[in-house]
Chain A
């Protein structure tokens, strides 16, 4: 969607004089994507997958130690 909006914006006569600014806008959208991903990683991280794997790893190590 943002591509379409930017495409429409760039056709606007007022913005045709500012290609550098549009490039900046695109770059800012990349920075915004990075921020969105940071929020996802911070607040929606699938920790249950991590715990499952690391938990089973710990169990395996414990079982190995018991066997010894």
Chain B
């Protein structure tokens, strides 16, 4: 119970930060103050909270779970490409989004698209697709909170109660604190995780008798030695993963966050230190995930390893349902929590659990982004702000936060988690495939609203198509791929144990390439916006701009 009490204290601190931010807000309720912290975040909070916003439960629990199953390759797959691509997109696109937002008062990416391409309803289509890809994150955040509290308390806190507590806490500080509260909480959470992540590595490493002996133990067994190499991952798969970080700048909560900096110079430290923050978080998570394979005295971990062994040796002869069951049993998303329970003293397990809870609760910025998008892209765009005023717009945003959190909690209690895991798996690909919109809007004079519409509809179609394909076609046994379409002797469409492959690549590759191609071709043959509109976006720093 002690770890759960420590986590509850942490949650109380987080709520207090949100209320403190509420009291620091400027007197009259302004949309820009509530949704963008008055575009006034300082460099320290900007770096830590932008990073924290991007570090979700999937980055922390998911990376250690992936490393538990796939080995040390996880760091190369997910962290190294993110370490370069994400800060590079922040450098290239984030700075421009900030400058345009500051100059023209944009608060969401859709507002910018509407102005840049002179469109109205096409902006609404983009909003719908962005929102649909964001909602599963919020639901899985509530589920993650419930699961984490349940595991940390040793089952004393039931899933429904843990989920309710997490939903209530997130809703409270987002409701009261808006962007200021969310940014402060994210900065606090990032510090917490960086500090306790390092402590966790030392404590668990010592508990396991040192990492060197753990590594030697893994190498000595033919079953676990491949976890320390990258030989089981194809170059196509590696290449595909470099496309995923493109999603970061297309995520509305990240793009909106770029608008909160007080000065553009604040991006400098963020861009330079972002890769080092990624390393500081991912290295311990991946390493601990791999090392967990050596911990045979924890029954839950032993059961996972056994399920994986059965799947690998007898998977081909088992029915699909049983294979799925074994896959669920072998999933390692709770590995980090199990290691904490085994090796950390109770009080430290509580603090480290609070750190993990911090990552699980990263859905706060997504809830706020969705509220900002709804109030700006729908409520204000369709006349609500003009008719009812800015104060009512902020109140609408707050009511939206309550509605979306309650709905997310209700769905989290009823729906199976796997549906949302699947949705999130392809939401990353979906957002990566939406990145040509941002790039074209900022860097290509010739882009048009029809090009943007074609890309957006393609993304919606592709995400649904892949999700339906994976839901309907059962995953084969490990080491086997079921080919469903061939073109010219090449495997065009394949169902793999981990997902879907298109010409050997993950779906994200064709999704991004076709999205970019559609943007290019359709824009070429359709009418451009007026010259004055285009000049607004491409005359920065020229004599006529001043």
Contact = CB atoms under 8 A, between A and B. Distances in A.
Question: Do A and B interact?
Answer: yes
B535 to A, nearest CB: 13
B229 A19 contact: yes
Interface residues of A, number: 37
B485 interface: no
Contacts of A6: 76, 230
Max chain A CB contacts within 10 Å: which of B83, B215, B287, B545?
B83
Contacts of B229: 10-11, 16, 19, 22
Interface stretch (B267-275, B338-346, B360-368, B430-438): B267-275
B287 A37 contact: no
B540 A38 contact: no
B241 A3 contact: yes
A3 B99 contact: no
Contacts of A31: 275-276, 279
Nearest to B71: A19
B239 A4 contact: yes
A54 B546 CA distance: 11
A50 interface: yes
A19 B214 CA distance: 12
Given A6-B76, A10-B229, A16-B229, A30 B235 contact: no
A23 B75 contact: yes
A41 B72 contact: no
B276 A30 contact: yes
A38 to B, nearest CB: 5
Interface stretch (B87-95, B166-174, B190-198): B87-95
Contacts of B215: 19-20
B102 interface: yes
20 contacts: A4-B238, A6-B76, A7-B233, A16-B231, A19-B228, A22-B72, A26-B76, A29-B83, A33-B87, A33-B275, A34-B83, A34-B272, A34-B274, A37-B91, A41-B271, A41-B272, A49-B541, A52-B546, A53-B103, A56-B546
Interface of B: 72, 75-77, 79-81, 83-84, 87-88, 91, 95-96, 99, 102-103, 215, 219, 228-231, 233, 235, 238-239, 241-242, 263-265, 268, 271-276, 278-279, 283, 287, 540-541, 545-546
Interface of A: 2-4, 6-8, 10-11, 16-17, 19-20, 22-23, 26-27, 29-31, 33-34, 36-38, 40-41, 45-46, 48-56
